[in-house]
Amino acid sequence: MLRRLLPEFKPHLASLLFAFALGAIMSGIKALIPDLFHDLTEAWRIQDKVTSFEVPFIICGLWVVISILRYVHMYIMRYITEIITINFRKKLMNKYLNLNLSFIQEFQRGSGGLMSRMMNDIVIIQNDLMKIAVIFREPILILFIFAYLIYLDWKLVAFIIVAAPLISLILKWLAKKLRSVGHSNQERMEDLTKTLKESLDGARIVQSFNLESELNEKFDSQAKDYLSLRKKIVKFEEAAGPLSESISTLALAFLLTYIGNQILKGHLNIEQFLSFSIALTMLSEAIRKVQQAFIKLQQVNVAVERMNQVLETQQMVPELDSPIPFPKNWSHIQFENVSFSYGNNKVLDRVQLDVKKGEMVAFVGSSGGGKTTLVNLIPRFFDASEGFITIDGQKTVDMNLKDLRNNIALVSQDVFLFSDTIRKNIQYGSKTNTDIEKACKHAFAHDFILNTPKGYDSQVGEIGNKLSGGQKQRLSIARAFLKNAPILILDEATSALDYESEQEVQKGLLKLMEGRTVFVIAHRLSTVINADKIVVLNKGRVCEVGTHEELLAKNGEYTKLYEMQG
């Protein structure tokens, strides 16, 4: 775990060394306390009034110094922990944003599981990572106290040495158990987070189909599984104390018997016994803190492992160290033997297509034919398993990814709006904000925006729930207008709208398509009759290509689809 965390600690090395130095000083001062009690007890016995008066205030002063040192020490450690955990969240966020879509789609527990790693796992790291300070600080005190006990009577230390290996074996066994259970525990938490997210995201469907009790039962079942694993973790964590304390108590029984015998023989006085007892108490407390920290850090270890599983995954859209820019005066886009598979499921099979600049190309076919997958390859949401997409002979995989995507605008069926103002949602992803109203007029959105409570500064709500489907779609078109990209992808942009909304949106789309190379995924064939090319996909293969009239004349797959829609 420390090896994995070392890169995070390096920028704070000076602060950490300072904190550890304070911890060492604090431990050194603490180690003086038993001997001061020895001096105090001896002063009482010989009636030394000066020493009897001075020593209590010296002890008090040392504890004040220890408290100040502890405050600074813990403040530094906690603040560094906060910095490290927020950096982990930043790294995970950056990773999530750059993962290819197939990783997110295929992740076992979906976006809820990824959220759990961002929130729940890092909370564990945040809460318990500072226990590292204990692991470094308390052993110093243990060494000082141990040395002092040897100075008093080395034979007394033998009882501690006998108990130490047994306690160490117990801790090692418990740590192994905690690591194995910890992974399952965090997976159950992922399940809970996933169910919660799905319930909130699908609240409308849940209530529509009266699924409240079913989802409650599912959540209750997952909560029971989680609680069952937490029970095991608590059992193992809490077992460490009683087991090690039982061994320590047994050693203490032999130790007290030996001490009593030494006192009766006159080989040990009460002053030595008191200072030894205080030293032993401090030693026991230091060992207990190390033991608790060691146990807690097992959960941190699990959380760090799970976080690194995501951070170290290579399922990102790869980019060359020196990518080429997007070509300025390009003339055509080609799909060269493009294939794509989800695992063993082949979705696209050797697609060949040549698209000229300024053409409107429509992809049609039955559901599951690979239409959306094919257009998702253009902005490289993921890459083809075989073959390439080229622009004037330059492979898109060799291009600067941001540059490529800056030249592509997307208007999809499922419009995503951020929980922000109308203005911000249109402006996202564009370098200019001066032509927002112009873009909205082109998208036939300006009038309805003015009728909202605060116009362009009105909040759209979470995922745009304060707007209708047609209004959201027109904002999406306005966003594409403002981006002003030469390539436009329309992914069934009007299929979910009613007739009246569709007519309004269609006006905006027709305006948006002017002078652009357009790829359209069409559900209703009536919307793509005027396309320059209609590409019919069937089970991932291109079976027909042509204009509306040419394809009808072939009396093939396209004709069947057209006749089915009346």
The tens-digit pLDDT sequence of the chain (566 residues) is 777 888 888 899 899 899 999 999 999 998 888 888 888 888 888 888 888 889 899 999 999 999 999 999 989 988 998 898 888 888 888 888 777 777 776 676 667 777 877 788 888 888 888 888 888 888 888 888 888 888 877 776 776 676 667 777 777 777 777 777 877 887 888 888 888 877 877 776 777 667 788 888 888 888 888 888 888 888 877 776 677 677 767 766 777 777 777 777 777 777 777 887 888 788 878 888 888 888 888 888 888 888 888 888 877 778 888 999 999 889 999 999 999 988 788 889 999 999 999 999 999 888 888 888 899 999 998 889 899 999 999 999 999 988 998 899 888 888 888 888 999 888 876 666 668 888 888 888 888 899 999 999 999 887 788 888 888 888 888 888 888 889 999 887 666 566 676 777 778 778 888 889 999 988 778 778 888 999 999 888 999 999 999 999 998 888 888 888 76
Please report which helix (H) or strand (E) contains residue 470, including its range. helix 469-483
Q: What are phi and psi of 448, to 5 degrees?
A: -70, -30
Q: Coil, helix or strand for 431?
A: coil
Question: Helices 131-152 and 49-98 sit at what angle, rounded to 10 degrees?
Answer: 150
Could you tell me the end-to-end alpha-carbon distance of the chain, in angstroms, rounded to an integer? 65
Please name which of 282, 278, 266 lies closest in space to residue 37, comparing C-alpha atoms: 278
- Residue 51 zone, left/alpha/beta (φ > 0; ψ -120 to 50; rest): alpha
Please name which of 73, 64, 65, 111 lies closest in space to residue 92, comparing C-alpha atoms: 111
Structure-block tokens of residue 395: 């492979």
Structure-block tokens of residue 174: 């418990």
545 DSSP β-pair partners: 535
Other Cβ atoms less than 10 A from the Cβ of 395: the count is 12
Could you write out the three-class secondary structure of 330-354?
Answer: CCEEEEEEEEEEECCEEEEEEEEEE
Set out the domains of the chain in order of their start, with CATH numbers: 2-182+237-311 (1.20.1560.10), 332-564 (3.40.50.300)
